[in-house]
Amino acid sequence: MKAEYRSISPSPGSSFTTSIFEGKEFIASWHFHPQYELTYILGSSGIRYVGDNMGSFDYGDLVLVGSNLPHCWKTIGEQKEDVRCIIIQWNEDLLLPWLEKEEFQHIQQLIQLAARGVLFEKKDAVRLEPKLLQLVDLPPFERLLSFLQIVQDLAVNVRYKCLAGQGFTSNLTVKESERINLIYNFVKENHSQQISLDEISKKVAMSKESFCRFFKKTFRKSFFEFINEYKISMASKMLIATDLSTSEIGYKVGYNNLSFFNRQFQKFVNMSPSKYRKMYRNI
């Protein structure tokens, strides 16, 4: 499996694409395309990869991805519902003639940030859900006007944060992209076991030293930091979605030592697992 270049065609009669994807899981591997992409999750949950960033997603997750920024969504664990999401994609030249206009200054700033990927605050994303759903069935002219209003709303009224680090480079070779997909899939399938450097480096046909340099250069973190981040992302999801005890969750995501699990959770989330669960239940 390799990171794919994806060719995307506009919706009939329209200058950009709007669609609803439904399926048992996301079918796309780590991929990129020249189009900008706005993805809103209606159902399912898992791990989202944007550039060198990894984070959990579930209902209400809304992300803007810039041109040629590698990305993918992967379901994890048992799913109570199928994947369902709204995907809007457009070429740079759709907005380019307007971006220098005074009225588009906020949209221009948002589009520039899209090079790193932008995650929008969930409560605002959910507020915009009816408008996002309407886009699919609107006539072309009304669809364009509604799309511009949505992007303006996101740029002006919604809190957001950038995902990929400023130092992330998307100029990866096909071979390097293949390695990244192999790593993602291997970690997904084996995260509950102890993964050694020997194991993962052989999987991608590299020496341990070369693998460590490649991973650190690409993601600006060590492979073992990446594994722990993955496990904590899974644990976060389970703390919200299940009634399992903290120790049971730690064991299920691959930690045999509860103290070490608690320290890692504190490191990545800046609070204890019990406080994290309480915070979300209060919400």
Mean of the pLDDT values across residues 135-158?
A: 95
**Residue bearing the bigger pLDDT, 158 or 282:** 158
Is the pLDDT confidence value at 6 over 60? no
* Distance, CA of 246 to CA of 85 (rounded, Å): 31
Token representation of residue 259: 């103290």
170 pLDDT band, cuts 50/70/90, is low
Contact 90, 15 (CB under 8 A): yes
Mean of the pLDDT values across residues 37-56?
A: 91
Is the pLDDT confidence value at 147 over 90? yes
User: Which one-letter amino acid corresponds to residue 48?
Assistant: R
Q: Which domains does the chain have, with CATH numbers?
A: 4-162 (2.60.120.280), 191-282 (1.10.10.60)
Q: Which residues fall within 8 angstroms of residue 85, CB to CB, at 6 or more apart?
A: 20, 21, 39, 40, 41, 42, 43, 44, 73
Looking at residue 63, what is its pLDDT?
98
pLDDT tens, 205-262? 999 999 999 998 888 889 999 999 999 988 988 888 888 999 999 999 999 899 999 9
* Distance, CA of 221 to CA of 107 (rounded, Å): 32
User: Which one-letter amino acid corresponds to residue 99?
Assistant: L
Is the pLDDT confidence value at 79 over 80? no
